[in-house]
A and B are shown apart, each in its own frame.
Chain A
Amino acid sequence: EDKVVQSPLSLVVHEGDTVTLNCSYEVTNFRSLLWYKQEKKAPTFLFMLTSSGIEKKSGRLSSILDKKELFSILNITATQTGDSAVYLCAVEPNQGGKLIFGQGTELSVKP
Chain B
Amino acid sequence: GAVVSQHPSWVICKSGTSVKIECRSLDFQATTMFWYRQFPKQSLMLMATSNEGSKATYEQGVEKDKFLINHASLTLSTLTVTSAHPEDSSFYICSALEGDSNEQYFGPGTRLTVT
CB contact list, A58-109 vs B, under 8 A: 88, 90, 95-104
CB contact list, B16-66 vs A, under 8 A: 32, 34, 36, 42-46, 49
* Top 6 A-B residue pairs of the complex, sorted by shortest distance between their CB atoms: A42-B106, A97-B97, A101-B43, A42-B109, A101-B44, A103-B43
Main secondary structure of the interface of B (DSSP, over half): strand
Interface size, A (range): 10 to 19
B46: shortest Cβ distance to chain A, in Å?
A: 6
Interface size, B (range): 20 to 34
B55: shortest Cβ distance to chain A, in Å?
A: 15
CA distance A83 to B42 in the complex (A): 19
CA distance A104 to B36 in the complex (A): 15
Q: Report which A residues bind B (CB closer than 8 A).
A: 41-45, 88, 90, 95-104
Q: Is residue B8 within 8 Å, beta carbon to beta carbon, of the partner chain?
A: no
Are A43 and B102 within 8 A (Cβ)? no
CA distance A105 to B44 in the complex (A): 13
Report chain A residues within 8 Å CB of B44.
43, 88, 90, 99, 101
- Picked from A41, A42, A88, the residue with its CB within 8 Å of the CB of B43 is A88
Report chain A residues within 8 Å CB of B42.
103
Q: Report which B residues bind A (CB closer than 8 A).
A: 32, 34, 36, 42-46, 49, 93, 95, 97, 102-109
B4: shortest Cβ distance to chain A, in Å?
A: 8
- Picked from B104, B107, B108, B109, the residue with its CB within 8 Å of the CB of A97 is B104
Report chain B residues within 8 Å CB of A42.
93, 106-109
CA distance A88 to B38 in the complex (A): 12
Report chain B residues within 8 Å CB of A43.
44, 93, 106
Report chain B residues within 8 Å CB of A101.
36, 43-46
B63: shortest Cβ distance to chain A, in Å?
A: 19
- Picked from A44, A90, A97, A102, the residue with its CB within 8 Å of the CB of B32 is A97
